[in-house]
Amino acid sequence: APLVGVLALQGDVPEHLTALAAAGARPCPVRRPGELAAVDALVIPGGESTTMAKLAGIFGLLEPLRERIGAGMPVYGSCAGMIMLADRVLDGRAGQETVGGIDMTVRRNAFGRQNESFEAAVDLAGVAGGPVEGVFIRAPWAESTGAAVEVLAEHGGHAVAVRQGALLATAFHPELTGDHRVHALFTEMARGVVAAHR
Ligand code: GLN
Q: Can you give the residue ranges of every domain in the chain? A: 3-196
Specify the residue with its C-alpha closest to ligand 1, atom 2. Answer: 48
Pocket lining: 189 vs ligand 1, CB cutoff 6 Å: no
Domain 3-196 has CATH 2.60.40.1120: no
Closest ligand 1 atom to 48 CA: 10
40 C-alpha to center of ligand 1: Å?
25
pLDDT of 92 over the 90 cut: no
Q: What's residue 114's pLDDT?
A: 66
- Tell me, what amino acid is at 68? R
Q: Which of 15, 16, 175, 183 is catalytic?
A: 175
Q: What's residue 54's pLDDT?
A: 96
- ipTM at complex level: 0.94
Ligand 1 pocket test: pick from 10, 108, 119 the residue with the most ligand atoms within 8 Å of its Cβ.
Answer: 108
Note if 173 is an active site residue.
Answer: yes
**Region 111-132 average pLDDT:** 91
Ligand 1 pocket test: pick from 109, 117, 173 the residue with the most ligand atoms within 8 Å of its Cβ.
Answer: 109
Q: What's residue 113's pLDDT?
A: 74
Which of 184, 190, 145 has the alpha carbon at shortest distance from 21?
Answer: 184
10-36, pLDDT tens digit by residue?
999 999 999 999 999 999 999 999 999
Instruction: Determine which of 26-30, 35-39, 87-91, 94-98 has the lowest per-residue pLDDT on average.
Output: 94-98
Distances (CA, A) of 22 to 3, 25, 174: 13, 7, 13
Note if 67 is an active site residue.
Answer: no
Note if 79 is an active site residue.
Answer: yes
Global pTM value: 0.96
